[in-house]
Chain A
Amino acid sequence: DSGVTQTPKHLITATGQRVTLRCSPRSGDLSVYWYQQSLDQGLQFLIQYYNGEERAKGNILERFSAQQFPDLHSELNLSSLELGDSALYFCASSLTTAGETQYFGPGTRLLVL
């Protein structure tokens, strides 16, 4: 158990809908990272927050957004969902920022029908 929690574990929704994924980092960690993992693309970095501020951005679509709250939990919002958004979404946390080991949560499996 990494200490990172993610909810929900599974999510099934329809195209065009909007969903919110939630992540609680390990106790004491200030950074939260979001990743998307699909069979053909592998693990893709989406975005990082550090102590409430956006720190680094990867291949995140404009339909996706994230935020980190004062209690350091984070939410990833996915809107106008498409079939291709079906994937595993992982959250990871680290103590500070660059070069720090990241600890991954169990993931949220999203299925868009």
Chain B
Amino acid sequence: EDQVTQSPEALRLQEGESSSLNCSYTVSGLRGLFWYRQDPGKGPEFLFTLYSAGEEKEKERLKATLTKKESFLHITAPKPEDSATYLCAVQAGRDDKIIFGKGTRLHILP
């Protein structure tokens, strides 16, 4: 069965304490892997799209990487404003189905 699993479910860090969020997936025919940030009560905000193993993308304090089985979102020296839920999604298969993980709730303490 196609699945997307994110870990940890929740993460509390001190400001400046770097860490990584994991997104593991089991799908056939990956068309794209997406990272989003979601603030409470708002729509997900696009961060990155990755298409093939070995690909990396960076934006400010965030860096996303992709292997054949998982993706990591690395957060370097986070600030309190980075607190949010981070969602990972894949689009895969002949029917282009889209599967979201349940997210990682990140809280950065000042």
Q: Which residues of B contact A48 (CB under 8 A)?
A: 96, 98
Q: Which residues of B contact A104 (CB under 8 A)?
A: 36, 43-46
| Contact status A45-B100, CB under 8 Å | yes
Closest to B100 in A: A43
Q: Which residues of B contact A102 (CB under 8 A)?
A: 34, 46
B109 to chain A, nearest CB (A): 24
Most buried by B among A44, A56, A57, A106: A56
> Number of residues in A with C-beta < 8 Å to the partner?
28
Majority SS at the chain A contact face = strand
| Contact status A55-B43, CB under 8 Å | no
| Contact status A99-B31, CB under 8 Å | yes
Which of A4, A44, A45, A107 lies in contact with B42, CB distance below 8 A? A107
Say whether, besides A42-B101, A43-B87, A106-B43, A101 and B96 are in contact (CB < 8 Å).
Answer: no
Closest to A41 in B: B102
Q: Is B49 an interface residue (CB 8 A)?
A: yes
Q: Is B103 an interface residue (CB 8 A)?
A: yes
Inter-chain CA distance A102–B38, complex, in Å, is 14
Closest to A109 in B: B41
Say whether, besides A45-B98, A55-B96, A99-B51, A90 and B87 are in contact (CB < 8 Å).
Answer: no
Q: Which residues of B contact A92 (CB under 8 A)?
A: 43-44
Inter-chain CA distance A57–B43, complex, in Å, is 21
Q: Is A33 an interface residue (CB 8 A)?
A: yes
Spell out A's residues near B (CB within 8 Å). 2, 4, 33, 35, 42-45, 48, 55-58, 88, 90, 92, 97-107, 109
Spell out B's residues near A (CB within 8 Å). 31-32, 34, 36, 41-46, 49, 51, 87, 89, 91, 95-103
Closest 9 CB pairs of A and B: A104-B43, A99-B32, A43-B100, A99-B31, A45-B98, A42-B102, A98-B96, A98-B31, A56-B96
A-B contact pairs, 18 of them (CB 8 A): A2-B43, A4-B43, A33-B98, A43-B89, A45-B99, A45-B100, A48-B96, A56-B96, A57-B95, A98-B32, A98-B91, A98-B96, A99-B32, A99-B49, A101-B34, A104-B36, A104-B44, A104-B45
